Structure formats: structure tokens, C-alpha cells
Amino acid sequence: MWLGFSSASTKRAIATIYDRNTLFIIAISAQSQHLDISSISQFPAEEEVLLGPSTSFQVENVEYDKIDEKYFIYLKVL
């Protein structure tokens, strides 16, 4: 659970610009509380969504890429 608002890009290529050694891949259903803020974003091409405070997640999988030395954590919004 992340207590504050969190933003994420729906484009993996954009998300990898900001990650360091961990990338969260979040499955968001149409019923989950999120808001597409692309139309009001300073960078609309990032296709940013806003997740509400106290959004809960379920960890679906964790992978480690030895070549890129990066973790991929697959989450599902509950």
C-alpha cells in the first residue's frame, strides 16, 4: 500500500526513463480508483495516471534481470 497519491505512466518506455533498479508493472482494472491525467499533464505524451492514496496492491510476481541488474515487480490493484 502506498499512502499518498502516486502517478504512473501507461507507457513502459517512459517508465524506464525514471526507474533505477526497480520497475513496478501495475495491472489497473477499469473498476480501480485511478484517474487518467494525460489531458492536464505538463507532459501528455507520458500518458500518466494518478492512483489514489492508500491504494492496495497484490504482488503477482517478482523477476530479476541479471543483465540489466533490475527488478521487475508485477502488482495488481485490489
In a domain, 36, yes or no: yes
Give me the residue label for grid cell 502506498. 2
Q: Residue 1: what pLDDT? A: 81
In a domain, 66, yes or no: yes
In a domain, 51, yes or no: yes
The tens digit of pLDDT for each residue in 34-77 reads 899 999 999 999 999 999 999 999 999 999 999 999 999 999 99
Task: Quote the number of domains for the chain.
Answer: 1
CA atoms within 13 A on the CB side of 25: 12
Full DSSP string of 5-48? -EEEES-HHHHHHH-SSEEEEEE--TTSSEEE-GGGSS-GGG-E
The tens digit of pLDDT for each residue in 3-35 reads 899 999 999 999 999 888 999 999 998 778 889
Instruction: Tell me which residue range forms the domain holding 63.
Output: 6-77
In a domain, 1, yes or no: no
70 grid coordinates = 533490475
Q: Compute the distance between CA of residue 23 and CA of residue 65 in angstroms, rounded to an integer.
A: 11
Q: Residue 19: what pLDDT? A: 84
Q: Residue 18: what pLDDT? A: 86
